[in-house]
Every structure is written in C-alpha cells, then in structure tokens.
Amino acid sequence: MKGQLLTRLVTLASCMGISTVTAQVFDPNKGSSSGWDPEVVGTNKTTNATFSNPVMTLNVGDPFMTKYTADGEDWYLFTYTTNSNITLRRSRYLTDNWDNTESRVVFNPDPTSGEPWSTSLWAPEIHNISGSWYIIFTATSDGDNPPPLLDAMCPINCPAINHRMFVLAGDGPDPWTANFEMKPMLDTYDQFAIDGTYFHYENQLYHIYSCWEQKYSSWPANLCIARMSDPWTINSTLAERRIISVPNEPWEQVPYGRPIRLATNEGPQQLTNPKTGQNFVIYSAARVNTPFYCLGMLELVGNDPMEYQSWRKHRDGCVFHQNTATGIYGPGHASFITSPDGSEDYIVYHAQTTANPQSDLYRTARVQKFTWNEDGTPKFPLAQNGPFNVPAGQLALAQR
C-alpha cells in the first residue's frame, strides 16, 4: 500500500512539474543585511531596563539556548547554525547583544576531508544529560551536492539526502572549558535526518528529528521518534521507529495547501509546562527560506511517546508566525529558556527581515516572553521588535 501511495505521489509530482524542478541549495550564512545600529540591538545599555529585537544580528539560524552554572555564576549558553563549525557563545544576560559576547569554537572539521560530519553543519544543540554535556547536530560530507546518480534515486531533487545526525560528548562538567569528542554516528537507519533533538519522558530518552518516510522519499519532511539507551545510541529498529507528525495541514505546505514538495516538519523542540507537567513538541513548518515558515505544536496526550496515537497536533494554524506589520518574516526553529530568576519563560527564535528572501538567507536571533493558557498550552505572542522590559532578575544582575 505504501509503495502504491509513493507511486501515486510521484505521478502527481510529475504532473505538477515538480520532478523537473532544480533543487535550491543555499548557504544560510552568505546572506547579509544593510547593517544594524548597535544601540537598538539587545539590551538598552543606557538604562539596562529594556531590550529590543534582534538580540543577534550576525547571520544565524536555528538558535538554541540553555543555562549552566560555573564557579557560582549563572550563564546563558548559546549555539546556532554556522554551516562550517560549531560555535558556543555565553553571557550572563539573556537579552545581551549576542554579537559581542564571548565565543568559542568547539568543533571545526576540515570541509575537504570527506568525513560524514565535515560540511553543512546545521542546528547544533547543547544539552546537560545526567551531569554531562552533549552537542547534537546534523551534517553531511558533500555540501548538499550529492552525486547525480544518487540524486536521481529520488522522485524530486534531494540535495540533503546524505545529512545524518552526530553527537559530541564533553569531558567535564563545565561546557565552556570542556573538550568535545565525536561519538559514533547516531543511527537513523542510513536515511535523511536533520534537526535532531532529545526528548525526555519518565526517565527515558528519545530522539526526535526531521525524517523521510523512506530512504529516497525526498519530500515531505516528517517528524520521527526513536528510543535511546544513551545520548548517542539508538535502541529502536527501523520497524520500531515512528513517524509522529506529517505536514498534512495546508499551513505546513508551500505554497499553501500544496502537498509533497516543500511540505515540511522540522526543528522539533521539547517544551514542558512547569506547573502542569504537560509535554509539547514545538516544531517548524512550511519552508525555511520563505516568509511562511512558522511554528506548529504537538502535545503528548498518551503515555507512550513511541506511538503516534499518543500525540495530538494543533491543527488550527501556526502557533507563532510572521508579522508583516512589524517586518518579521519566517520566524521559526525555536528553543526555550527562562529569565535569570527563573520566573518567566522565553522563546528564542530566528526570523528574516524581508518578505522576498534571496536564496542566500539572512536571519537574526530574537527573544520574546511567552505565557501559558488556562488549558496548559503555551501562549505565544505576536512576533515583535520591542522594546520590551528585560527578563525578570536581569536588571538586578546588571546593577551588581
């Protein structure tokens, strides 16, 4: 039945002219802007009481932020897609101008080495799991330019067919001073895999990532889950792997309502309501290099994350999306963090500054406060530039 469905989809794609479309390959870090006034980036340095978006104007995508403590001081730790290496930044302040913060390159592969992790490094995340630090990221050996005969196996051009997931393990409790070493490739069954993250539920670790149904499917990009025995080892078979979300809603597709090509679920991120314990996966939908890129939401309503029946999709449209009135387009690939005093929740996301982006994307990193609805679901704001009040506890920290 699946084979018949794939055949029908391929036929439909051919009728729509999709099979002859040349793949758009872009370097997310070649884009540029006309420049930003540092006075309106991040925290207002005159008062330290307000901040404005963006908080980072360097061309970055897929921002991920977490916290750690070292020598009695609390730090925000930030990483993002550079395309060529894995860079960490840190600051005491959530809404600092992150362009000017301390930075450290922790992994810098030789792009000519042919190693499977050597080019197109995307969406790194750094996690503290059981007291140790791990960086999970996706990469490929071919710069998203696979051999023509391999690309020909896909019904639609598939430049990212060789993207796989990787994990770096730190050797100490302080992520800023730790050395990171490569662990064995994360098993995704020798299939396309990007934007992987960790999902924790009842003392069990899972891997959720963007996947294809089959090795050569090409599109759509779905969300898959597999069980893990440790942060770099999958212990689910391919038959046990589950697809928990497919981009079957019209707002998850580009153009709106067109299936197959550019229909996307990616960038999953766990979000837990601190009061009710409800677990959500906030993910990116539609196409990253369009203004329609947005956030969708799954809620874990069952007791087994490995069963798709345990997940419920919010089907009433994006939960966070472009705001044309403020010139913010394609907001997506979010992570979540708390204020310095832990009392407020914040979304960290990237966005574009034009409704007509070039193939070489330019994206900035942004931060906004969000709250919770009475039913326990997250209540995200409209994408805005500010100014906003700084996060709770930050002003007191700055006045020390």
pLDDT over 90 (residue 73): yes
What distance in Å separates the CA atoms of residue 79 and residue 29, rounded to the nearest whole number?
14
Higher pLDDT, 29 or 300: 300
* Alpha-carbon gap, residue 385 to 42, rounded angstroms: 10
Q: How far is CA 72 from CA 134, 173, 341, 392, in A?
A: 22, 13, 15, 19
Average pLDDT over residues 64-93: 97
**pLDDT for the residue numbered 56:** 96
Question: CA 121 to CA 24: how far, in whole Å?
Answer: 17
Burial 184-194 (b: 16+ CB within 10 A, else e): ebbbbbebbbb
- Compute the distance between CA of residue 148 and CA of residue 161 in angstroms, rounded to an integer: 12
Looking at residue 27, its pLDDT comes to 63
Percent of the chain with pLDDT over 70: 92
Whether 18 has a pLDDT exceeding 50, the answer reads no
Residue listed under structure tokens 């362009």: 99
Q: Are 98 and 114 in contact (CB under 8 A)?
A: no
169-192 confidence digits (pLDDT tens)? 999 999 999 999 999 999 999 999
Judging by beta carbons within 10 Å of its beta carbon (0-12, 13-18, 19+), is residue 24 exposed, middle or buried? exposed
CB under 8 Å to 310, separation ≥6 — which residues? 300, 301, 302, 303, 304
Sheet with 311-313: strands ordered across: 265-272, 279-285, 294-300, 311-313
Q: Give the pairing of strands 42-43 and 50-52.
A: antiparallel
The pLDDT assigned to 17 comes to 39
Q: Tell me: cis bond preceding 255? Omega within 30 of 0 counts.
A: yes
| Integer CA distances (angstroms), 194 to 19, 140, 242, 266, in order | 23, 10, 16, 8
The tokens describing 287, both together, are 């196409």
Task: Report how far residue 136's alpha carbon sits from residue 195's, in angstroms, rounded to the nearest whole number.
Answer: 9
Q: pLDDT by residue (tens digit) across 228-256?
A: 999 999 999 999 999 999 999 999 999 99
pLDDT at 142: 96
Its pTM stands at 0.92
Round the average pLDDT of the chain to a whole number and report it: 92
Question: In this model, does residue 12 exceed pLDDT 70?
Answer: no
Q: Is the pLDDT score of 28 beyond 70? A: no
Contact between 150 and 161 under an 8 Å Cβ cutoff? The reply is yes
Q: Is the dihedral of CA 86, 184, 176, 366 positive or negative?
A: positive
pLDDT grade, residue 2 (50/70/90)?
very low
For 304-318, what is each residue's pLDDT tens digit?
Answer: 999 999 999 999 999
List the single range of 35-44, 126-135, 322-331 with lowest mean pLDDT: 35-44
